[in-house]
Amino acid sequence: MREQGIRVNRTRLLTVVAALLGLSLLAGCTIPTGDAADGTPVPAGPVAQVIENPAPDAQGVNPAQPISVSVTQGTLQDVALTNASGKVVQGLLSPDRTSYTVTEPLGYDAKYTWTGTAIGSDGKTVPVAGSFTTIDPDTQTSVRTNIGDGQVVGVGAPIILQFDGPIADKAAVEKALHITTVPPTIGSWAWLPDDNGARVHWRPQNYWAPGTAVHVDARLYGLDFGDGAYGAGDVALDFSIGRSQIVKAVAPSHRMQVVRDGVTVMDIPVSYGEGNENRNVTRSGIHVVSEMHEDFLMSNPPYYENVRERWAVRISNNGEFIHANPLTVGVQGASNVTNGCINLSLSDAQEYFGTAMYGDPVEVSGTRIDLSAADGDIYDWAVDWPTWTSMSALV
């Protein structure tokens, strides 16, 4: 009898243990993902994760860098980036609503704030919040170009970017300058000595092919120029090359030819600079037409001042023009008597003026002084090609 009672008690004990294990396993199926310190169940957090670029509270952000917000395991709702004045910055939400990208450049030294929400795949919301501040440059450097958007220029025209201040990191700037041409054209940038700021010129190895289409893309905004200076803005322009017109100016011949698309369309008597003094010598070399004036007041103190000249085409910043001069008509074609300019009759000057275009080459030869950097800002063709390419900051 005692032995049987022992067996019964053991059976009951095993039954109780099995029941307790079952309860434990059943309870394990409903245990939450976490417990508070006192053992109270804590609900699972939202699954959506918001990622901001730049990170919240970032300082010194480059305003030209990609700015975006994205979400994993969710979608974005009513996202916006605003400046300190509350103006909304333009942006684009992806079709699947998982990312939002700013589509306009931000300003320097400005604070921007994100607003909006993200809804996770679990239906829970997560705020899109946070702010950042952009860099405050010591200097913002601007640039201007010699050619306007849509302009048609001659086959000798260089592309000139004139900055309004010095540039310490010329290599960084040059890497941001891109020239695209149709047809493809071999050319190079070259940094010329600063003149009221840094300046860089691009020219083809040889004259442009007529009809060439040119696109200039200079991504300079937000670019570090060095020494605390940053680019104030981008530059983008499209222009084209017109017909080929080259002036052949052989000083000893006392004549000038205008050759258009390989055909001589003018062959006229002229007078060049007399060679008695250096200041009067018309420089030999390839000049470039840079300005055109129907009337122009010329001065060359102490010899003359504010003399009105007609049909003036500037070919160098040293004061060389092709222009009408009735006072030299008697010697045009026979003698060189001017102060360095190329003198024509009124009728010839007017006819030539009507054909000239910015960027036309004027090839002067036969004088004892060559065109050089001392003669102005467009002496590009006076530099041989190997030397020109060596003037790039990316050699």
Catalytic machinery residues: 323, 341
**Nearest to 373, CA basis, from 321, 318, 314, 319:** 318
Q: Is 226 helix (H, G, I), strand (E, B) or coil?
A: strand
Residue 259 near residue 245, CB atoms below 8 Å: yes
Conformational region of residue 277, where left means phi above 0, alpha means psi within -120 to 50, and beta covers everything else:
beta
CB 212, CB 183: distance < 8 Å:
yes
- Cβ-contact 46, 121 below 8 angstroms: no
The answer to whether the beta carbons of residues 250 and 274 sit under 8 Å apart is: no
Alpha helices (H) along 48-169: none
336 SS3 class: coil
Residue at token pair 């007609």: 310
Q: How far apart are CA 128 and CA 46, in angstroms?
A: 13
Between the CA atoms of 39, 41, 43 and 44, what dihedral angle is there, to the nearest 10 degrees? Answer: 70
Q: Name 217's bridge partners.
A: 178, 236
With 0-12 CB in 10 A as exposed, 13-18 as middle and 19+ as buried, what is 295? exposed
Strands 99-102 and 131-133: unpaired
Coil, strand or helix at 10: helix
Q: Is 199 helix (H, G, I), strand (E, B) or coil?
A: strand
